[in-house]
Amino acid sequence: MRFQLIIQPQAEETMIELKRSNSKKLQKVLKTLALMETNLRHPSLNTHKYNAIEGKNGEEIFESYIENKTPAAFRIFWHYGIGQGIITIVAITPHP
């Protein structure tokens, strides 16, 4: 199944900042987003439910890896979207 991605403003702002300051990291983000569109179960994504927060309307939030075993490795936080086949990207951020 192919997913349509909806990128929320906070995640979009991160991508704009990375375009300005860290093009290599942005390329990793874009590669990960492309993979999420086609295969959420890809092992490199290490996708799992993130229990610490929930979506604005109570949605279950998931975390997918952009990087692993890297200091402040970036993650994508998302939930299943407003309809079938849609993923809403909530945030793109370094892992604490």
The domain spans of the chain are 4-94
Which whole-number Å values give the CA distances from 40 to 2, 62, 85, 96, in the listed order?
A: 9, 11, 12, 23
More confident residue, 4 or 55: 4
pLDDT at res. 96: 67
Alpha helices in 1-96 (DSSP H): 9-21, 23-38
In this structure, what are the phi and psi dihedrals at residue 63, rounded to the nearest 5 degrees?
Answer: -120, 135
pLDDT at res. 1: 77
Please state whether beta strands 4-7 and 86-94 pair in parallel, antiparallel, or not at all (unpaired): parallel
Q: Is the pLDDT of residue 33 over 70?
A: yes
pLDDT at res. 56: 82
Phi-psi region at 85: left, alpha or beta (left = phi > 0; alpha = psi -120 to 50): left
pLDDT at res. 50: 92
pLDDT at res. 55: 85
CATH for 4-94 is 3.30.2310.20
38-74 pLDDT, tens digit each: 999 999 999 999 988 888 888 999 999 999 888 889 9
